[in-house]
């Protein structure tokens, strides 16, 4: 395995986190970043920037001597306390991504471990995520379990530029 370093991203890393999220989405959908819907890049940048600045998104980056090779993020949100647990945060893990050239080298495992290890210090009582087929074995090995208690309603979406603040952004 080649050397790498995992660290938590800060506000100076917004552009890197944004670019890697776009790479994740494009790779997962089998398209080029340039082929993503108009306005998506700017909306993504706005989401990442706002979240990083307010602390509602925490991200971890993996880098080696050649640059950034992976990312994982956690969206934090407030929930009411429970009688048995006073913690009032949950974390939704998103954008677990390692560039194709560095997959199967432990980069994703190191990123994921750093993200999960931070949860207690962030006051998180529960983590959840949506697993890709490729990521599912890692998440199961880390102790995540399928959950049958949730029901989900996906609301109809809008097209980019119809009822959104879509812009003609050229990149992050």
Span 64-90, pLDDT tens digits: 988 999 999 999 999 999 999 999 999
What distance in Å separates the CA atoms of residue 29 and residue 142, rounded to the nearest whole number? 25
pLDDT score of 117 more than 90:
yes
Contact 60, 6 (CB under 8 A): yes
29 assigned to some structural domain: yes
pLDDT of residue 162: 58
Structural domain includes residue 167: no
Residue 105: inside a domain:
yes
Mean pLDDT value of segment 5-30: 95
pLDDT of residue 148: 81
pLDDT number for residue 172: 58
pLDDT at 39: 92
Where does the pLDDT of residue 169 fall: very low under 50, low under 70, confident under 90, or very high at 90 and above?
A: very low
Please indicate, yes or no, if residue 69 is contained in any of the structural domains: yes
pTM for this predicted structure: 0.87
Number of domains making up the chain: 1
Among residues 120, 100, 19, 89, the alpha carbon closest in space to that of 61 is found at: 19
| pLDDT confidence of residue 70 | 96
| 148 or 111, greater pLDDT | 111
More confident residue, 123 or 156: 123
Residue 166 inside a domain? The answer is no
pLDDT reported for residue 33: 93
The answer as to whether 35 is a domain residue is yes
CATH code for the domain in which residue 53 is found: 3.40.630.30
Q: For residue 38, what pLDDT is reported?
A: 76
What domain range is 30 assigned to?
5-141
158 domain residue, yes or no: no
What is residue 161's predicted lDDT score, i.e. its pLDDT? Answer: 64
**Whether the predicted pLDDT of 102 surpasses 70:** yes
């Amino acid at each position: 395995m080649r050397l790498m370093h995992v660290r938590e991203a800060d506000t100076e890393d917004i552009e890197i986190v944004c670019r890697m999220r776009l790479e994740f989405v494009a790779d997962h959908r089998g398209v080029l970043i340039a082929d993503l819907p108009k306005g998506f890049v700017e909306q993504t940048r706005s989401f990442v920037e706002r979240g990083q600045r307010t602390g509602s998104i925490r991200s971890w980056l993996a880098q080696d001597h050649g640059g950034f090779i992976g990312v994982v993020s956690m969206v934090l949100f407030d929930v009411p306390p429970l009688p048995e647990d006073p913690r009032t945060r949950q974390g939704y893990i998103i954008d677990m991504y390692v560039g194709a050239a560095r997959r199967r080298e432990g980069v994703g495992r190191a990123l994921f471990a750093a993200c999960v290890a931070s949860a207690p210090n962030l006051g998180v009582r529960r983590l959840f995520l949506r697993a890709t087929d490729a990521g599912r074995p890692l998440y199961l090995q880390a102790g995540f379990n399928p959950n049958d208690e949730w029901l989900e309603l996906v609301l109809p979406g809008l097209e980019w530029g119809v009822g959104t603040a879509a812009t003609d952004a050229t990149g992050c």
